[in-house]
Amino acid sequence: MLSFILRRLGTMALTMLCLTMVVFFLINLDPNLKKLAISQTEMHTSAEQLESWLVNHGYRQNFFSRYAQWLGIVPKQPVTDPATGKPARRFAFCNDPVEPTFSGVLQGDFGCSTKFKTTVASKLFPALGATGILMFWVLVVMVPISLLIGILAGMREGSRTDRTLSVASIASTATPEYVSGVIFTVIFASWLGLLNGSAASASRGITFYNFTLPVMTLAIYGIGYIARMTRASMVEVMTQQYIRTARLKGLAFGSVVVKHALRNALIAPFTVIMLQFPWLLTGVVIVEVMFRYQGFGYTLVEAAGNNDIDLLLGCSLVSVFIVLITQLISDVGYAFLNPRIRVQ
């Protein structure tokens, strides 16, 4: 088991290395650098000035050496100030070292955000905290509801409850966040006036009034999917011999479901819930933009829209990490929950 986890961690590290390299390459494509230079300098700068801005801020160094510097396995070189000829900080607003030091992601330095004029860490981690709160409430709403729907539907396959709930969950998987968000806002904010169509005030304090719509919107797409998986798992369990035995020895149907079926039927949904995180990440971006909630997704869109290289790299690192770690947890947890599967 331990060697399995170690091997998985090794693959994970390799995957992250490859992915960050790809992201680093794509972000640093020439057109993107030009756009960054244009947005960071005054209006109407000539092509030479743009080029010299890029050189002065160290964007024209060799690709691999820059990647290694960002990673922290090669000392980060300060740039030379063209006026004085002395080593200087890359950006005045975040304390880059003036002498060569190992200062990359491995040392915990995520770099400089050119859009927000601050360090990436001071922007990214509060945003992650805000998204964490959103995720927490989404899971609190999504998991119990979807498991309940799945169990009720799978309990008696083919019954009227099953058909109704199945069609409902298919309908919810056909509703991406930008559709449900619009529909919910129209119903609850515009017509009924019960809820707030914007969660901008939620960063100062979460209330039922401003936070319900984002949570609902984000949860609805996942509910259908998890419910369908739970239903399939429940249907399979209900055809097993031990369920029949329990029924034949005279146990009530409800007690069979709760005591015998439930524990076995909930193993598969656990994996599904864990693998749902990567999709939630996309959903988070849509919902945070739609409801103007200042979290991780909002930061990602701002970073991508403004070619904020270091911030976007930080965002991708975080999201890739989340995807990989949830995959690992789901594999390990599955082996842990299901004694029939034992990894060599």
Q: Which residues contribute to the site for other proteins (CB under 8 A)?
A: 11, 15, 18-19, 23, 26-27, 29-32, 34-35, 166-167, 170-171, 173-176, 178-179, 181-183, 185-186, 189-190, 197, 278, 281-282, 285-286, 289-290, 297, 300-301, 304, 312, 315-316, 319-320, 323-324, 327
Residue 262 to residue 125: CA distance in whole angstroms? 38
Take residue 174 and report the two structure tokens written for it: 């056909």
CB 326 to other proteins: min, Å: 10
CB 284 to other proteins: min, Å: 9
CB nearer other proteins, residue 61 or residue 164? 164
Beta-strand ranges (E) seen in 6-105 are 79-80, 87-88
CB nearer other proteins, residue 20 or residue 119? 20
CB nearer other proteins, residue 256 or residue 330? 330
Q: How distant, in Å, are the alpha carbons of 157, 191, 244, 252 from that of 241?
A: 16, 52, 5, 16
User: What element of type H or E holds 113?
Assistant: strand 112-113
| Exposure letters 221-257 (e unless 16+ CB within 10 A, then b) | bbbbbbbbbbbbbbbebbeeeebeebeeeeeeeeebb
CB 26 to other proteins: min, Å: 4
CB 285 to other proteins: min, Å: 5
CB nearer other proteins, residue 252 or residue 343? 343
CA 338 to chain centre: 27
CB 220 to other proteins: min, Å: 11
Residue 80 to residue 340: CA distance in whole angstroms? 62
CB 44 to other proteins: min, Å: 20
CB 135 to other proteins: min, Å: 14
Residue 180 to residue 171: CA distance in whole angstroms? 11
- By the 10 Å C-beta count (0-12 exposed, 13-18 middle, 19+ buried), 93 is classed as middle
CB nearer other proteins, residue 238 or residue 286? 286
CB 319 to other proteins: min, Å: 5
The answer to whether 327 and 16 are in contact (CB under 8 A) is no
Looking up tokens 């693998």 gives: 275
- Grouping H, G, I as helix, E, B as strand and the rest as coil, residue 71 is helix
* Count of CB atoms situated within 10 Å of the CB of 120: 27
CB 101 to other proteins: min, Å: 29
CB nearer other proteins, residue 184 or residue 270? 184
3-state helix, strand, coil in the chain (%, to 5): 70, 5, 25
CB nearer other proteins, residue 251 or residue 275? 275
CB nearer other proteins, residue 212 or residue 257? 212
**What angle separates helix 120-155 from helix 309-337, to the nearest 10 degrees?**
30
| 106 Rama sector, left if φ>0, alpha if ψ -120 to 50, beta otherwise | alpha
CB nearer other proteins, residue 271 or residue 319? 319
